[in-house]
Amino acid sequence: MERRCFNLVTFIVSCALVLGIGCREQTKVAEKPQVPVGLPEKVKVPEVNETALGGPKIMFEKVFHDFGEVGPGTKNTCEFKFTNTGDGVLKITRVEECCGVVTKLSKRECAPGESGTLEVEHRVSQQPGTVRRQIYVNNNDKTNPRVGLTIAARIVPKVDYEPKTLNLVLRGDANCPSIVLTGLDGKPFSIKQFKSTGDCITADIDSSVEATKFVLQPKIDTERLRKGLNGVIEISLTHPECDTVAIPFNALPTFEIKPPVIIAFNAEPQKPIDRDLWILNNYGEDFEIEATSSQNKYIAVTSQQKIHNGYQLRLAITPPEALSNQRTFTDVFSVNIKGGEKLIVTCRGFYLTKPVKP
């Protein structure tokens, strides 16, 4: 009887264990994610070929133009032809120009298959050498929205001239050196116009005469030259590759003031600062100082000494009382030369920023 009870208990326990293991295995299977049959785990998006997209397409016949040899200061033009090879309306929004370049579009919009031109005008400099310029065409072609165009030229003188610069004097008997113009390519030309800054230099010309070489005898108006010591002579020509010759000029002034600007550092209010000033005649001529003045009354002349070609002045600069946060002060000192000429020198002072120890 006891043996039968023992066997029954053993059978019941074994059944319970088997049922528990089965439940745990079912739980594990339930926790594993299920993938439907025939559905890939990762969906691939097909790549898009940009060149296969529709829309406008801009196509230039060329993107580079070489003007070859050109004369200094000349205007040179060329054209860049383009076509819309796409299936949408081409719109040119902007043309980026560079130094010396002017552009003109025949049209800003082109239907599919239509063409247009970009006219380019390039005025080269007066300096010989090789130049390259970039132009950019902005448009609505998604594959080529900014097209770069290049122009190039070799600047070669066609007319030589001497002198390249005129250094003049202000004496009454001053003569201007001759100006010689020579064609370098054997092509005859004529002189259309001769003009100068302030009309202080003139020359007799005959615009009906053609030649490969000219010798001009300029004349100086000294009084006009005094009003503008620096300028440019412009000679207009009919040469096809050299329309203008520009010759800068400058004149030595009668008087010179040294230094042209007075700087005073570490200035303290009401404590004079000594400075020397020289008034010189560049032509070695005698002259007299008629009067001196200070615009803000900060500068006074303490001594005046005659030297070989002018005067040496000793100045006392007295800085004014500084206002709150004031770091600088200025004044203008004037020297009147007997005969009417007036010379001016600017004075600029900087206050001492650190406190002075007693």
The pLDDT tens digits for 153-166 are: 999 999 999 999 99
Mark whether 148 and 167 lie in a shared domain.
no
Average pLDDT over residues 71-77: 88
Q: Assess whether pLDDT exceeds 70 at residue 22.
A: no
One-letter identity of residue 117: T
* Rounded Cα gap, residues 151 and 160, in angstroms: 26
The pLDDT tens digits for 186-200 are: 999 999 999 999 999
- What CATH code is carried by the domain that includes residue 82? 2.60.40.10
- What CATH code is carried by the domain that includes residue 340? 2.60.40.60
Final residue in a domain of this structure, among 125, 155, 185? 155
The confidence score (pLDDT) of residue 173 equals 65
* Rounded Cα gap, residues 219 and 203, in angstroms: 6
Distances (CA, A) of 159 to 189, 241, 268, 315: 10, 9, 61, 54
Tokens (6 digits) for 213? 């070489």
Final residue in a domain of this structure, among 192, 223, 251? 251
Q: Assess whether pLDDT exceeds 60 at residue 257.
A: yes
The confidence score (pLDDT) of residue 323 equals 84
Phi-psi region for residue 307, left (φ > 0), alpha (ψ -120 to 50) or beta?
Answer: beta
216 in a domain, yes or no?
yes
Question: Residues 178, 180, 185, CA angle at the centre, nearest 5°?
Answer: 180
The confidence score (pLDDT) of residue 172 equals 66
Please give the tally of structural domains in the chain: 3
Q: Which residues contact 237 (CB under 8 A, 6 or more apart)?
A: 159, 181, 189, 190, 191, 192, 243, 244, 245
pLDDT tier at 340, thresholds 50, 70, 90:
confident
Final residue in a domain of this structure, among 155, 173, 203? 155
Average pLDDT over residues 290-317: 95
26 in a domain, yes or no?
no
Average pLDDT over the chain, rounded to an integer: 86
For 70-110, the DSSP string reads E-TT-EEEEEEEEEE-SSS-EEEEEEE--TTEEEEES-SEE
Q: Assess whether pLDDT exceeds 90 at residue 208.
A: yes
Domain that holds residue 259: 255-351
The confidence score (pLDDT) of residue 161 equals 94
Question: Contact, 225 vs 202, CB < 8 A?
Answer: no
- Other CB atoms within a 10 A radius of the CB of residue 127 amount to 10
pTM: 0.62
Q: Assess whether pLDDT exceeds 90 at residue 357.
A: no
